[in-house]
Structure formats: structure tokens, C-alpha cells
Amino acid sequence: MSAVASRPAGLETRRAILDAALELFSERSFDGASTRAIAELAGVTQPLLNYHFAGKEELWRAAVDDLFERYRTSMELRLSGLRGVDDVTVAKLMVRHFVEFSAANPQLQRIIAQESKRAGGRLEWLVETHVRPVYENAVAMFERLAARGELARVAPEHLYYLLIGAGATVFMMAPECQRLTGVDPFAREFVAAHADLVVDLLIRATTKESA
């Protein structure tokens, strides 16, 4: 049953389903995305989802796994070969990469925001499996910055959600931004300007004046 995917055709279909699932889960929420709509977007029939995945919930988890895996690898790639570089520069790169990834993959914040509103099995899994490592990484970054006097000594809970919110909200809400302001937040210059702003805000702004 649960599909180990040994033949090439199976892998391609699996990928098409994962992409479609991520798209619809992220913009319509778990309940709003029907398995039939996902199947249609993937170009397959609905029962095929249950062949490749054990059920709707497991399909959701597989899609989220895939997305976070992309986030992790892209961040590692960005930070590879920076052994000797100072903490401030690395931190700025991390923040910038988070903003740019959020622009290139608004599904990430959309899914996190969706599930974070309500306690339950999916939130529990999401936090313990994927969010906590990201959070702890961020906290470590905050501490390195604070130790060098480049960041006000504020509780990490505040800084984390400040960073997440400031950096990703406009991309998560891109359709609203488009309609409200007429500006396409995914435009190259917008993303760059927003990343600059967030980096400045987090790292330069709370420096020196505070603490």
C-alpha cells in the first residue's frame, strides 16, 4: 500500500502531488483544500493520493517536510564556507536569506500561520519537528549578537516573532498587498528593499541606543 516508489513514473507523480498539495494547503488551509482539488491540480485522479500517501494528514506532513527541507538546504548553502566570518555578517546573511526565502516560498509562512492559530496535533507535530530547530537557531543568533553588543538584550520570544512577522508577513499576504497597494511584493526590487529594511531594523536599530 504505502508506496515505496521504485519506478521513475511513481516519483514524478509523487512530486506533482506534493507540489499541488503544498500550493493548495498553503492558500486554502488544511480543511479548505480538498483532496479532489489537489488531485486535479496535480493532473491525477483523487484516489491516487491515497495510493502514494496514507491519507490527507500524511500528505500534508509530507508536503511540509518537503518545504522545510528546501528551507534548510538553501540556508546551509547560503552559509556554507563562512567559517571565519564574524557573527554580525553571518546574522545579517541569515536574516536576509529568511526574507528572500519567504518571498520565494510564501507557502512556508502561510502554512505555519494557519496551523499556529489553533492547538492540536498538526501544530504539535509542526513545532516539534520543524519550527523548534529554526527557533533555537535564531535564539543562538540573538545571543551571539547580544554578546557583541549588536543587539538589545530583549527576550528572544519577542525578537523571534518580531523577525518572523516583519520579514514574512507582506509575502504571506501578497494577494492583499497587491490589491491594497497595487504593488507586487514579489518584484525583485521590493524583496531586496524589504530585506534591507528588516536587517537594518533588527540588527542596527536596536544597537547602542537601547540597553
**Binding residues vs DNA (CB under 7 A):** 3-14, 33-37, 44-48, 50-52, 55-57
Figure out which of the listed residues 16, 123, 146, 192 binds a copy of itself, where binding follows CB under 8 A: 123
Q: How far is the CB of 71 from DNA (least distance, A)?
A: 26
Residue type, 166: A
Residue type, 173: M
Partner from a copy of itself, DNA, none binding residue 71, C-beta < 5-8 Å depending on class: none
Give the contacts of 2 (CB within 8 A, at least 6 positions apart).
53, 54
Instruction: Kindly write down the DSSP assignment for every residue of 21-81, as one continuous string.
Output: HHHHHHHHHHHHS-HHHHHHHHTS-THHHHHHSSSHHHHHHHHHHHHHHHHHHHHHHHHTT
Partner from DNA, a copy of itself, none binding residue 164, C-beta < 5-8 Å depending on class: a copy of itself
Q: How far is the CB of 147 from DNA (least distance, A)?
A: 48
Residues 153-182, one symbol each (x = binds a copy of itself by CB under 8 A, - = not), give -xxxxx-xxx-xxxxxxx-xxxxxxxxxx-
CB 105 within 8 A of CB 187: no
Q: How far is the CB of 73 from DNA (least distance, A)?
A: 24
CA distance 84 to 1: 49
Helix, coil or strand: residue 8: helix
What secondary structure letter does DSSP report for 150? S
List of residues contacting a copy of itself (CB under 8 A): 26-32, 106, 110, 112-119, 123-124, 126-127, 131-132, 135, 154-158, 160-162, 164-170, 172-181, 183, 185, 190, 193-194, 197-198, 200-201, 204-206, 209-210
